[in-house]
Amino acid sequence: MTPDQINAAMKRVPLAFRDPPAVRLRKTALRVFMVGLFVYCLVAFNFSPERIWTGLGRLGTVVSFMFPPYIWTTWAEFSEILNGERFAEAIQ
């Protein structure tokens, strides 16, 4: 198959290679409508990059709440409490 042959075939039976113009127009119109509706929704629902960015930050906070808090497990960490300074800070 040379490009010339392909071009000749395209010229002879164009509908075997692409849809008729009416169908192509309808498909394009449908795509434009869907994309347009999506863009309209983006505007109507106040989608904005900074809103998504701050939202993702808060999502990180929510996810971090889902893990149990860190609890001291070794005596070295606990013994800090008995330190005079820390104790004084705590009771102030």
Partner 1 sequence: MAVITDPAFAPPANAKIDAFEAEFSEARKSSRRAWLVGSVLFFIVFIVTSWLGDFFRVTQMTMPDGSREWRWVIPAGIPRLGEFISKTIPELHWDTLGADIANWFWRWQIWLKLLFETILIAYMATVLGVIGGFLLSFPAARNLAPNKWALWITRRYLEIARTVPDLVWALIFVFCFSVGPMAGVLAIALHSTGALGKLYSEVNENIDMRPLEGVKAAGGTWFDQIRYGAVPQVMPNIISYTLLRFEINVRASSIIGYVGAGGLGAEFRVAMSFQEYTDLSALFVIIFVTVMIIDYGSEKLRHRIIGMEGVRA
Interface contacts to partner 1, rule CB under 8 A:
34, 37-38, 41, 44-47, 51-52, 55-56, 58-59, 62
Is residue 86 within 8 A of residue 80, CB to CB? The reply is: yes
Q: Which residue from 16, 15, 12, 18 is spatially nearest to 4, judged by alpha carbons?
A: 12
Q: Which is nearer to partner 1, 35 or 81 (CB)?
A: 35
Q: What span, in angstroms and rounded, lies between the C-alpha atoms of 11 and 17?
A: 10
Residue reference for tokens 């893990």: 67
CB of 39 to partner 1, least distance (A): 10
CB of 3 to partner 1, least distance (A): 18
CB of 40 to partner 1, least distance (A): 8
Q: Which is nearer to partner 1, 29 or 41 (CB)?
A: 41
Tokens of 69: 């808090």
Q: Which is nearer to partner 1, 36 or 83 (CB)?
A: 36
